[in-house]
């Protein structure tokens, strides 16, 4: 075994990476790579175009809209208007699970497409789309139908919204469209925003049946990958907190239609769903705050905050009881795993919230996150919402519709008075806030936005982290380099990792990955002898 080179400082690493690029590219990438100072998070460039030719983790607007936010709504038929690939690839690949056997239709295992052919491109595909709606309705009688535009649809001028209106009239169910062509915005992020807008305009508030429960909440930005939402549901249930709708894991259309009657919105994935929280507060008066159910301590903290919001003694007592019960089961596993993993290092490059949330799980077993970054987040996810007013709105963002919401004439009912809000704030209760990733990361760690393949390889080769967290496209590159790679999009087909049971699962999973015997057997004996 050769001796390891002296480890360069993060500053030196950054300079060396930037130097590898030429002129314009170097200048651009330099703004995406920072050495962190949690006290004064520096300004990072985020949510801007990826330079063509750079091998990026990013996907497209359609993936963010249909794939992430809308796809999990289980009793809707989601018809993808376009050539077949877009529907095909978003079919079961994200692992958003939905319960069956509850008498509610579940179309999660189905993929629907207009499979546009050349003649549809030449002569327009609106008639085919309308016919596809009729066929879907005749066969499956879904609660509602969503129509999703792919790249060519915008270019040939098919009006999915007009088709939606016509079909809503004709079929008598809710039908609505999304202009989420893949080329819009700079990543999946644009698609999240478009999905939020569409859901808000077309579904939220459609069912005015009151929610008769003192502690009713919506969980925003939880997509039930690997059963995370099931675990959160279990915990909320134990606490006596009523979940009206999850946006959008394990959810049915009607839950979302009724969600405006909940008393509180809590936000998991800030990046993909903050728009919804803001709009529901403006229109219906539902306050929101950020929670995190990734990590056992984070889960406890989030539950306590919900209890504090409701300010009910019984609820608070119940929540404390649940936390005590559940943590008791977690701590012995945690201590055992930490005895092996403490002091080890992790790197996380994924998504718009997980690269932050999962740092809690690593720190619970004594590991340090030495480098992290998002695939498609914005500055506020790094630096905190305090920077929102100073974010430049560029042309790519301007092209995504921003809804201007006012209070609903009849249904606006502030759950807390301005005085109550202010009083809570005084006690240190953070409303509608998110501090972002950087304030939590240690000084001198690396923060890299929209990491390129080149940067990823360099980072791993230089620092040899004990584990790297990313997605499927990176997974086997990292593994080939002899470093275990945990997929934080698909969870490597495991999970849940949310809540208390999830935390235990994750500790054990990381323990397994870092400890795996085969990693020590990569070099054949004859190569060791000759060295």
Partner 1 sequence: MLDSTPSTVADRVALKINPAKTCQPVGAVYAALGVHGCLPHSHGSQGCCAYHRSHLTRHFKEPVMASTSSFTEGSSVFGGMANLTQAFSTIFEMYDPDIVAVHTTCLSEVIGDDIPTIISKAREEGRIPEGKVVVHCNTPSFVGSHVTGFSAMVKGFVKYLSENTGTRSTAINILPGWVEPSDMTELKRMVAAFGLPSIMLPDTSSVLDAPATGEHAFFPKGGTTLPEIKAMGDAKATLSLGTWASLEAATLLETSCGVPFQELDLPIGLAATDRFIESLRGLAGVDVPAQIEDERGRLVDVISDMHQYLSGRKVAIYGDPDHVIALTEFCRDMDMKPVHVLTGSVGNAFETRIKDLLADSVPDANVKAQGDLFLLHQWIKNEPVDLLLGTTYGKFIGRAEDIPLVRVGWPILDRVGHSYFPTVGYLGSLRLAVEIISAIQERQDRDAPDHAFELVL
Positions marked active-site: 60, 63, 94, 192
* Least distance in angstroms from the C-beta of 34 to partner 1: 21
Find the binding residues for partner 1 in span 298-357 (CB under 8 A). none
SS3 annotation, 18-40: HHHCCHHHHHHHHCCEEECCCCC
Indicate the DSSP class of residue 294. B
Q: Residue count at the site for partner 1 (CB under 8 A)?
A: 89
* Least distance in angstroms from the C-beta of 159 to partner 1: 16
Q: Using CB under 8 A, which of 47, 56, 272, 299 touches partner 1?
A: 56
Report d(CA 371, CA 355) in Å as an integer: 10
Cβ distance to partner 1 smaller for residue 278 or 449: 449
Tell me the pairing of strands 242-248 and 288-290: unpaired
Does residue 249 interact with partner 1 by CB under 8 A?
Answer: no
Q: Which two tokens stand for residue 390?
A: 């100073």
Find the binding residues for partner 1 in span 163-222 (CB under 8 A). 181-187
Does residue 150 interact with partner 1 by CB under 8 A?
Answer: yes
Nearest to 527 by CA among 149, 71, 82, 2: 2
Does residue 55 interact with partner 1 by CB under 8 A?
Answer: yes
* Least distance in angstroms from the C-beta of 156 to partner 1: 7
Report d(CA 438, CA 384) in Å as an integer: 8
Q: Using CB under 8 A, which of 14, 17, 18, 21 touches partner 1?
A: 21
Q: Using CB under 8 A, which of 37, 45, 115, 297 touches partner 1?
A: 115
Does residue 393 interact with partner 1 by CB under 8 A?
Answer: no
Cβ distance to partner 1 smaller for residue 435 or 492: 492
Q: What is the CA radius of gyration of the chain?
A: 24
Q: Please give the helix or strand (H or E) that residue 303 lies within, else none.
A: helix 296-310
Q: Using CB under 8 A, which of 210, 406, 428, 522 touches partner 1?
A: 522
Cβ distance to partner 1 smaller for residue 145 or 503: 145
* Least distance in angstroms from the C-beta of 231 to partner 1: 23
* Least distance in angstroms from the C-beta of 392 to partner 1: 16
Q: Using CB under 8 A, which of 110, 412, 429, 431 touches partner 1?
A: 110
Does residue 118 interact with partner 1 by CB under 8 A?
Answer: yes
For residue 191, how far is the Cα from the chain centroid? 12
Cβ distance to partner 1 smaller for residue 151 or 391: 151
* Least distance in angstroms from the C-beta of 368 to partner 1: 24
Helix (H, G, I), strand (E, B) or coil at 218: strand
Nearest to 51 by CA among 77, 22, 14, 13: 22
Instruction: Judge contact between 152 and 122, C-beta under 8 A.
Output: no
Does residue 395 interact with partner 1 by CB under 8 A?
Answer: yes
Distances in whole angstroms, Cα of residue 124 to Cα of each of 86, 119, 158, 160, 163 = 18, 8, 6, 11, 12
* Least distance in angstroms from the C-beta of 229 to partner 1: 20
* Least distance in angstroms from the C-beta of 227 to partner 1: 17
Distances in whole angstroms, Cα of residue 236 to Cα of each of 217, 251, 292, 314, 462 = 10, 15, 13, 14, 43
Write the DSSP string, 35-56. E--SSSPPP---SSPPPTTS-B
Q: Using CB under 8 A, which of 11, 43, 135, 325 touches partner 1?
A: 135
Find the binding residues for partner 1 in span 418-447 (CB under 8 A). none
For residue 183, count other CB atoms closer than 10 A to its CB.
15
Nearest to 59 by CA among 98, 36, 90, 81: 90
Does residue 30 interact with partner 1 by CB under 8 A?
Answer: no
Q: Which stretch binds partner 1 (CB under 8 A): 117-125, 264-272, 288-296, 321-329?
A: 117-125
Q: Which two tokens stand for residue 369?
A: 């996150």
HSE toward the beta carbon, residue 453, CA cutoff 13 A: 14
Nearest to 188 by CA among 454, 417, 489, 430: 489
Cβ distance to partner 1 smaller for residue 40 or 138: 138
Find the binding residues for partner 1 in span 449-488 (CB under 8 A). 452-454, 457, 471-473, 475-482
Report d(CA 375, CA 50) in Å as an integer: 10
Cβ distance to partner 1 smaller for residue 55 or 423: 55
* Least distance in angstroms from the C-beta of 180 to partner 1: 10
Cβ distance to partner 1 smaller for residue 3 or 419: 3
Cβ distance to partner 1 smaller for residue 59 or 436: 59
Q: Which stretch binds partner 1 (CB under 8 A): 234-242, 260-268, 274-282, 395-403?
A: 395-403
Distances in whole angstroms, Cα of residue 88 to Cα of each of 81, 82, 134, 180, 379 = 12, 11, 21, 16, 32
Q: Using CB under 8 A, which of 2, 4, 53, 313 touches partner 1?
A: 53
Cβ distance to partner 1 smaller for residue 191 or 499: 191
Cβ distance to partner 1 smaller for residue 85 or 444: 85
Find the binding residues for partner 1 in span 358-387 (CB under 8 A). none
Does residue 89 interact with partner 1 by CB under 8 A?
Answer: yes
Distances in whole angstroms, Cα of residue 206 to Cα of each of 209, 260, 386 = 9, 9, 33
Q: Which stretch binds partner 1 (CB under 8 A): 145-153, 199-207, 242-250, 326-334?
A: 145-153
Report d(CA 107, CA 182) in Å as an integer: 23
Instruction: Judge contact between 361 and 297, C-beta under 8 A.
Output: no
| Through-space distance between the first and last CA atoms of the chain, rounded to whole angstroms | 7
* Least distance in angstroms from the C-beta of 438 to partner 1: 25
Q: Classify each residue of 30-61 as buried b or exposed e, where b means 16 or more C-beta atoms within 10 Å of its C-beta.
A: bebbbbbeeeebeebbbbbebeeebebbbbbb
Q: Using CB under 8 A, which of 18, 33, 46, 54 touches partner 1?
A: 54
Find the binding residues for partner 1 in span 482-511 (CB under 8 A). 482
Tell me the pairing of strands 33-35 and 446-448: antiparallel
Which residue do the tokens 């030196």 mark? 12
């Amino acid at each position: 075994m050769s001796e390891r080179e002296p480890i360069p400082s993060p500053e030196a690493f950054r300079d060396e990476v930037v130097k590898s690029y030429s002129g314009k590219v170097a200048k651009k990438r330099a703004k995406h790579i920072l050495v962190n100072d949690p006290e004064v998070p520096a300004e990072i460039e985020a949510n801007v175009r990826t330079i063509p030719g750079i091998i990026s983790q990013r996907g497209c607007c359609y993936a963010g809209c249909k794939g992430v936010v809308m796809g999990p709504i289980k009793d809707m038929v989601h018809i993808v208007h376009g050539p077949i690939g877009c529907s095909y690839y978003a079919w079961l690949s994200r692992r958003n699970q939905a319960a069956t056997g509850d008498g509610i239709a579940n179309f999660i295992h189905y993929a629907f497409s207009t499979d546009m052919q050349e003649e549809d491109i030449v002569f327009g595909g609106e008639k085919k789309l309308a016919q596809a709606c009729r066929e879907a309705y005749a066969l499956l009688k879904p609660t509602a139908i969503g129509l999703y535009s792919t790249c060519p649809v915008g270019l040939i001028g098919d009006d999915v919204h007009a088709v939606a209106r016509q079909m809503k009239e004709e079929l008598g169910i809710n039908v609505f469209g999304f202009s989420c062509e893949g080329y819009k915005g700079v990543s999946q992020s644009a698609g999240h925003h478009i999905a939020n807008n569409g859901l808000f305009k077309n579904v939220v508030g459609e069912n005015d049946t009151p929610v008769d429960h003192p502690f009713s909440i919506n969980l925003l930005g939880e997509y039930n990958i690997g059963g995370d939402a099931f675990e959160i549901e279990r915990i909320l249930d134990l606490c006596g907190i009523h979940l009206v709708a999850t946006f959008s894991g394990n959810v049915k259309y009607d839950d979302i239609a009724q969600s405006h009657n909940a008393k509180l919105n809590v936000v998991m994935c800030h990046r993909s769903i903050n728009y919804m929280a803001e709009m529901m507060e403006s229109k219906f008066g539902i306050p929101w705050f950020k929670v995190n159910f990734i990590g056992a301590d984070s889960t406890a903290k989030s539950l306590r905050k919900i209890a504090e919001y409701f300010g009910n003694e019984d609820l608070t007592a119940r929540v404390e009881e649940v936390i005590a019960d559940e943590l008791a089961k977690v701590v012995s596993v945690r201590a055992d795993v930490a005895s092996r993993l403490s002091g080890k290092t992790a790197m996380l490059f994924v998504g718009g919230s997980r690269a932050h949330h999962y740092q809690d799980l690593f720190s619970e077993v004594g590991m340090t996150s030495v480098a992290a970054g998002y695939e498609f987040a914005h500055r506020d996810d790094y630096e905190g919402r305090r920077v929102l007013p100073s974010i430049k709105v560029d042309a790519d963002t301007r092209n995504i519709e921003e809804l201007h919401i006012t209070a609903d004439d009849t249904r606006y009912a502030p759950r807390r008075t301005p005085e109550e809000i202010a009083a809570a704030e005084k006690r240190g209760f953070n409303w509608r806030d998110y501090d972002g990733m950087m304030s939590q990361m240690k000084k001198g760690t690396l923060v890299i936005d929209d990491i390129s393949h080149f940067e990823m390889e360099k980072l791993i080769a230089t620092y040899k982290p004990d584990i790297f967290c990313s997605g499927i496209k990176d997974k086997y590159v990292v593994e080939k380099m002899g470093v275990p790679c945990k997929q934080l999009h698909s969870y490597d087909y495991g999970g849940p990792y949310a809540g208390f049971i999830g935390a235990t699962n994750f500790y054990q999973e990381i323990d397994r990955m870092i400890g795996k015997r085969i990693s020590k057997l990569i070099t054949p004996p004859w190569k060791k002898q000759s060295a």
